[in-house]
Structure 1
Amino acid sequence: MIPSPQPRRGPGFVGRWLLITASIAALMVLWHALPLVESWWAPRDGAPRTVTPRGDLAADERATIELFEKSRDSVVYISTAQRVLDVWTRNVFTVPRGTGSGFIWDDAGHVVTNFHVIEGASQATVKLADGRDYPAALVGASPAHDIAVLRIGVGFKRPPPVPIGTSHDLKVGQKVFAIGNPFGLDWTLTTGIVSALDRSLPNERGGPPIEHLIQTDAAINPGNSGGPLLDSAGRLIGINTAIYSPSGASAGIGFAVPVDTVMRVVPQLIKTGRYVRPALGIEADEALNERLSALTGIEGVFVLRVTPGSAADKAGLRGVTRSAEGLVPGDVIVAVEGKPVTSVAQLLARLDDYRVGDTVRVTLRRGEDIREVAVTLQPGV
């Protein structure tokens, strides 16, 4: 069987396909150029756009705005300077040192901030929300709590003190609001939640760690230090004091000194200029304590000596004594008010939850016996 011949595709067939392809390409170019062509013929009178009505703000937005407007006047901007001696000319001149935040504590012009905001400075200036500047005098400071109190002389139109709240009843998930001056951008509001409670951080100046810190994800950056952390009622619940960040900027982990600590420390600083820690009247050594714990396997604070006439002496605590057989170990403090104590720093932090004159229950290990005694706290050295 002879196959039928196939039709030959001549030049006309190729031409038609080229024409179709060119037409499609031209249509695509025209489609993309259409807005440009249209703009040539559009009127150029520059008529304004019609504003679309927004409607009412959401309830939480109104609450946040109201909180900021009520709290703003209680927050201050702090700038510090330092006197420097020129070793060549022997002239003394002043150079800027840093900036931070603070808040009005009372009607007497006291301003509370972080100690590290004013540390090393020879002078500080407090700027109010209405633009007025005042030189500040240092009233007192507690480096162990990173708290300092300044005072300014406001003759009229005194800014309102920030309302005081509590921190012992905070819950993880509560909304919080931070007002401060990050990077010198004055009176900035950031929001977040309580991320965790009862955190502790090492004290960079030595001594016991700073305990009971509030962790928050509200953005806190350099310059926020010393500013207030507020709850949704606009009450002070903490002082923004530190961030955890590998880069030095906010990474969503900020810390605030709780207001319950502030309420114990600030009145003392205003009254006496310094904070007196409550104490038992014993002697202990951190390095030796670690060695004794490792040797004996007992976690606690080994009492080396009890000061005669001290609160511990009156409560019957015993230190190391010497006998014919050698040294006799003293008591080991293992808990305060039922909370475990494993180091000297932790003991100091536990006692710092109370005031001088308070009576606390101290759990002791004496040999193989466990006993509990009541100790009325005395002023520390």
Structure 2
Amino acid sequence: MKYFILAGEKSGDLHGSNLIHEIKKLDSNAQIKAWGGDGMKAEGAEIIIHHKELAIMGLLGVLQNIKRLKGLFTKFGSEIDEFKPDTIIFIDYGGFNLKAARIAKRKGFHTQFYIAPKVWAWNKSRISDIQKWVDKLYVIFPFEQQIFSEKGIDTYYVGNPLQDAVSSFQATADFLQRENITLPYVALLAGSRKQEIKSALPVFAQLAKENPQISFIVAGIREWRELYANYPIRVLYNQTYDVLSHAQAAVVTSGTATLETALFKVPQVVVYKTDWLFYSLAKLLVKIKFISLVNIILDKLAIPELIQVQFTSQHIQLHLQNILAKDAEARLEQLNDYEKLLQVIGPSGASQKTAELLVNAAQSAK
């Protein structure tokens, strides 16, 4: 069968690559075209547009790129008309992917959405969009099943794919020796989008300058290599899991990486900064108490969050002092909360389960 997959950011590429790996076990003749990244390409997908071309953040980012966005949606319509996939799979990235799903459904294509838009956080109007434009929905948090099923959406809880990625990771045996790393160190994760990285790096560099007694390593994204060049801080590219697996603690830009850090059982401080207009609007619209996935899932402030003006080197340093010592109370509390988190998320196997459901749904729709 033919599959067209849209993943709009690096985390989506990770989940997409694991999904493609499982799809090919079930469908050896699978033809896959995608908007994604290097991970999906490595699994055999033909990448038409790289996800970094889709990385637009905040209201200002959207307004500044309206013409380009229109062009991307036009291109998407042309691509699926030409390829004629048996199903189109959208991975996360709800703002963009739901608009693409509308285009696909209006053209008569079968649509499936993996990792639902977080309507429980904000923009509940997206539920009606999912009802209209998505045939099958696969969710990764247990509480999402009821939210969408109550609206008549064909919804399946599949578990969290990050468990697959982390549990299957094999640490590089000579990582510390090869990179000449001395323990302990603090991992710095600046995010995967250009705007996130540009916001985080100056603060991270200042943090390193003010704390020469602490070793810091940035887990960098190779696609944005030029952004790191102007900062005197060590960067290791495309080795995030290796960096996390040995870290004593981490400072993490809010997003998927906060949950990954927790699954590696690394105590962390979560940070985030975006453009002021988007943040001001978000404060009015967002219906959740926390921004990090760990805190949202546990429904408590398990890890500290430094947002907007609080995202400074001084504030980070204060929180790092509380979690760096191995017997520190705050550190032990985070590790205890991580155990509770694992119980909520459940075991690995999300990619395999989702692939089975996707392929069966596509076959039934033919």
TM tier, smaller: under 0.3
More helix by share: 2
More strand by share: 1
Higher relative contact order (CA 8 A, sep 6+): 2
Task: Answer with 1 or 2: which has the greater Rg.
Answer: 1
- TM-score, length-scaled by structure 2: 0.23
